[in-house]
Structures are given as structure tokens and as C-alpha cells.
């Protein structure tokens, strides 16, 4: 059994989907041991409703230190599911297990600092791109620049808005995030 810690800042629909995929066996041999939020958010409430252990570590003084201290020793994989804080060098020197993130664009396009939530979708629409998508990637010190694990695209429709695009992309996130988690857990089992 592999142990997952999920970090989030928002509504937590990906958390909900991952928890459901663990329950229905789509994600194999895994357990969510802890959910950490960096602010008050609906994701925390979801975690509680799902019966998951959760903790709030507010951003501010000693944030990295508090975060590191909260991550249990037995965790095999950290999953960022809509986590808005940037993990810094100090964090990476202390945590050496794999960390993955999902980003709502086809990285390396529309990634990096400031590119989150609707900012991403608005930029895609402003640029008249014909497609966008979602990317699951490893997290490194450089924002949205770690190796890509899985990607899936969606077409931009006539009259697309940031909101309709976000909805479309969420749907594919619910497909590729569990797939990527399975891939990584299998890899970890073989090492």
C-alpha cells in the first residue's frame, strides 16, 4: 500500500475524484493519509466529508517549515491538486519523495508564475489558440517546468469562455490525474 499526501488551496474536485478512484479500484494499492490546505477552502470541507485526515497550514511566517513538519514520514507521493503556494528551495532540500501537480494547459504553453486558474484560460482564449488541455508533471523548484507525465488536449470551441474551457479541462483532469498517479505508484512499487 502506498501513502499519498494531497496539498490543495481550492474547491478540491480533483481530491474528490482521486478519493473515488481509490475507492473504486481505478487507483490501485493507495491511500490518502493526509490532506493539507494552505488557506480556508472548500477542499478542506471535502476532505472532512470524505473522512480524510486534514490540516490547515496558513501561509505566512514559517510556512515551509510547518509544511515540512506536517508531512508524515511514511508518505510515498505528494500530489498537488490545485495548490497555489510555490514550493521553495528549502522545501525541496528536505523532501525527496516524488511530487506531482496538475496544470490546466498543455505545458510548456501557458505555464509559470501567475498562470493559474482562469488566468490560464483567459490567456489561451486571448491568443486564439485552437486547443488547450491538462498536464500532469513532476514538481521542481521551477514553476510548471518539471518533467511531463501525462497530457491530454481539448479543442477550443466557437464562443468558448474561460468558464466553459475550465469545465472542459476539469473533465479531462479527472481522467489523466488518476492515470498518472497509477503510473507513478507502479513505478515506486518496482523500486
Residue closer to ligand GRF by CB (options 57, 176) is: 176
Per-residue cell: 104: 490546466
Does residue 44 touch ligand GRF according to CB under 6 A?
Answer: no
Angle at which helices 13-23 and 42-49 cross, to 10°: 20
Query: What's the closest the beta carbon of residue 17 comes to ligand GRF, in angstroms?
Result: 8
The answer to whether 137 is a known catalytic residue is no
- Please state the closest distance from residue 80 (CB atom) to ligand GRF, in A: 7
Residues 6+ apart with CB under 8 A from 16: 46, 50
Alpha-helix residue ranges (DSSP H) falling in the chain: 13-23, 42-49, 63-70, 89-94, 118-126, 162-189
Q: How many CB atoms lie within 10 A of CB 110?
A: 22
Residue 147 vs 190, nearer CB to ligand GRF: 147
Tell whether residue 81 is a contact of ligand GRF (CB under 6 A). Answer: yes
Candidate list 6, 7, 12, 106; residue touching ligand GRF; CB under 6 A: 12
Place of cell 481539448: 154
The annotation places the binding site for (6R)-10-formyltetrahydrofolate at 61, 101
**Residues at the contact surface with ligand GRF, assessed by CB under 6 A:** 10-14, 43, 81-82, 102-104, 134, 170, 173
Active-site residue set: 103
Amino acid at each position: 500500500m502506498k501513502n499519498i499526501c494531497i496539498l490543495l488551496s481550492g474547491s478540491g474536485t480533483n481530491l474528490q475524484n482521486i478519493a473515488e478512484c481509490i475507492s473504486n479500484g481505478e487507483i490501485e494499492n493507495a491511500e490518502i493519509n493526509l490532506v493539507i490546505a494552505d488557506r480556508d477552502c472548500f477542499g478542506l470541507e471535502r476532505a472532512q466529508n470524505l473522512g480524510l485526515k486534514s490540516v490547515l497550514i496558513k501561509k505566512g511566517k514559517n510556512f515551509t517549515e510547518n509544511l515540512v513538519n506536517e508531512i508524515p514520514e511514511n508518505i510515498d507521493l505528494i500530489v498537488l491538486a490545485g495548490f497555489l503556494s510555490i514550493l521553495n528551495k528549502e522545501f525541496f532540500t528536505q523532501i525527496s519523495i516524488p511530487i506531482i501537480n496538475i496544470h490546466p494547459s498543455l505545458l510548456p504553453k501557458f505555464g509559470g508564475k501567475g498562470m493559474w486558474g482562469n488566468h490560464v484560460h483567459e490567456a489561451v482564449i486571448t491568443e486564439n489558440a485552437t486547443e488547450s488541455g491538462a498536464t500532469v508533471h513532476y514538481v521542481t523548484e521551477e514553476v510548471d517546468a518539471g518533467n511531463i507525465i501525462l497530457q491530454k488536449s481539448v479543442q477550443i470551441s466557437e464562443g468558448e469562455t474561460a468558464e466553459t474551457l475550465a469545465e472542459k479541462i476539469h473533465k479531462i483532469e479527472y481522467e489523466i490525474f488518476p492515470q498518472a498517479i497509477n503510473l507513478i505508484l507502479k513505478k515506486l512499487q518496482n523500486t
